[in-house]
Amino acid sequence: MLKRILGDIDSFFARDPAARSRLEVMLCYPGFHAVMAYRLSHWLWRHDVKLLARFVSHVGRMLTGIEIHPAARIGDHFFIDHGMGVVIGETASIGHNVTIYHDVTLGGVSLEAGIRHPQVGDDVIIGAGARVLGPVSIGKGARIGSNAVVVKDVAEHSTVVGIPARAVKTAQVDDGHFDAYGTPTDDKDDPMLATLTDMQNEMQRMAARIRELEARSALSKEADAAAAQWEGGNDIKH
């Protein structure tokens, strides 16, 4: 348990450039406090002290604004940055080295028994305001952009954005780059920019085609006028 706690502290210190010491993380980071409350409540839940587990979870929520059900399964080095408004449901599963920002929901959309919440793989980053809903699978190394709404499985090492979320980038392996908030900042990864670029290219193609048709029409009219003039001249001669 102590090794896991130290690993959680190091994950905050390693992924937040504003953190100046491990002691600062322990004293001043609500995300870390929420993770510690979860570790205790989850231990109690597994040892069938469920009411006390829920009470510890409730106290953690009051103190941090972060709600994690004690039955959720969360791996090592879990990092919640800022944290306010995070909700993680009962049957959610989160792998190792996962980063979640504030106002993220890992929610269920069914009242049926069984897995109702997202299953998140290792090394995933979920940006602020994202909603991951239902028993969807989030592959290893995936990036979920801020305010995305995910209702379908996300492939490994892919980046999804938008409502509903759609892939804008997929890699074969993890390139080791940490995408803050899980959101691409490169213009080439901006789906709106890509759509506008496609529209602009199509408009330019249509404009070129219209100019070509107008040029053909003008030539046809000139030819018709010349033919009519030539026929009129022949009629006068006859």
The residue-averaged pLDDT of 183-195 equals 61
Give pLDDT, residue 67. 95
The CATH-assigned architecture of domain 2-183 is 3 Solenoid (2.160)
Label residue 205 exposed, middle or buried (CB < 10 Å: 0-12, 13-18, 19+): exposed
pLDDT digits (tens, 9 = 90+) for 130-152: 999 999 999 999 999 999 999 99
* Domain locations along the chain: 2-183, 190-238
Token code pair at residue 19: 């953190």
Considering the entire predicted model, what is its pTM? 0.72
Token code pair at residue 123: 């090394």
Strands (E) across the chain are located at: 67-68, 73-74, 79-81, 87-88, 93-94, 99-101, 105-107, 119-120, 125-126, 131-133, 137-138, 143-144, 149-150, 158-161, 166-170
Q: Per-residue confidence at 216, pLDDT binned at 50, 70, 90?
A: confident
Give pLDDT, residue 187. 54
Give pLDDT, residue 83. 85
